[in-house]
Structure 1
């Protein structure tokens, strides 16, 4: 069990638990149509959604040991630019998920954040989760997310045709996995269509 939240830091970033001071910022960023298109955040997204997320969802997840959620912050300003988490943690496995604000994309920040979270996920020290496997999912067409996972070393595992429901529509589900014993370097074997972003 995780228990108390952990803060992670590396490069230009600090990953820390989102707090009540972040509510307005989260509500603002989650109104981005791209974030709504590729994630499960409610849409339209309002301040109440952000309040519930910060005051209930995040702390309950940490307390149960099933969900670890961090705000992605620029260390020099402490400004929240995105979110990353390990979800459905159970029996040595967790699922990674993430999103980043438009102005922060293209800087390599998500690659850094993912590596920090993977270090925590696989660490066998008292400060880590000692997971054996982390899985990545994305709606088919989300090549930006695929690029992050591929660069982090995730191995392509396939597509579940119409494998997920999203806002009342069934969509194909891409999946890749990373084991604690896998090298953390860009992986090959990903299909060509995972390199092409589908317009939304």
Structure 2
């Protein structure tokens, strides 16, 4: 897959590069990221190097793009968003993301999700039919971000995910290429 930079004029999404390694290490020290994202803990420089040099590069090569979230075309990385595709499930991808603490609650992640979904559904991008999301129960900020972008709640997977050796419940939602963007109805109270 050819790498693509995406922007809406407020956020820019581009492939993570070597100069992002220190920012990734700094951001991933946040206990809130470690609580909700399946990253190594403690998170060190070698983890960020692997993410940038191997995982991101292989992801783009295999049709699973990962972007650095930036507030200007050449600005410092403040988060990541990606669309992971499994070879046995063509036409579908799982969205995953995190954002540095000081940039939360400003609508930036919703913008990044919108850009990633637009690229994912676009026939000139990935041509996906479905983008699904899952998050550990209690991650209300993640749920709010996808709900704002048209993801429909699909249920609860009891002990459906593993985080550092412990099974946890997770919520599930998805957006189809035929679903309109914008806030989705039908989410249960408290999610």
Q: What band does the TM-score fall into relative to the shorter chain?
A: over 0.9
Where does structure 1 lack aligned partners over 5 or more consecutive residues? 195-200
Q: CA deviation at 1:88?
A: 2.5
Cα distance between partner residues in 2 of 1:118 and 1:76 = 19
Cα distance between partner residues in 2 of 1:141 and 1:64 = 32
Cα distance between partner residues in 1 of 2:85 and 2:163 = 18
Could you say which residue in structure 2 is the equivalent of 1:198? none
Q: Which of these residues, 42, 45, 49, is aligned with residue 44 of structure 1? A: 42
Cα distance between partner residues in 1 of 2:52 and 2:180 = 34
CA contact (8 A) 1:12 1:76 kept: no
Cα distance between partner residues in 1 of 2:85 and 2:41 = 22
CA contact (8 A) 1:13 1:73 kept: yes
Q: CA deviation at 1:183?
A: 1.1
Could you say which residue in structure 2 is the equivalent of 1:172? 169
Cα distance between partner residues in 2 of 1:32 and 1:63 = 29
Equivalent position SS for 1:152? coil
CA contact (8 A) 1:72 1:82 kept: yes
Cα distance between partner residues in 1 of 2:61 and 2:43 = 25
Superposition misfits of 4+ residues, deviation over 3 angstroms: none
CA deviation vs aligned residue, 1:54-97 (integer Å, no higher than 9, x gap): 011100111122x2100000117611100000012441000001
Aligned length: 189
1:154 is the counterpart of 2:129: no
Give the TM-score taking structure 2 as reference length: 0.96
Could you say which residue in structure 1 is the equivalent of 2:108? 109
Could you say which residue in structure 2 is the equivalent of 1:96? 95
Equivalent position SS for 2:114? helix
Could you say which residue in structure 2 is the equivalent of 1:197? none
Equivalent position SS for 2:85? strand
CA deviation vs aligned residue, 1:126-166 (integer Å, no higher than 9, x gap): xx111000001000000000000111010010001111111
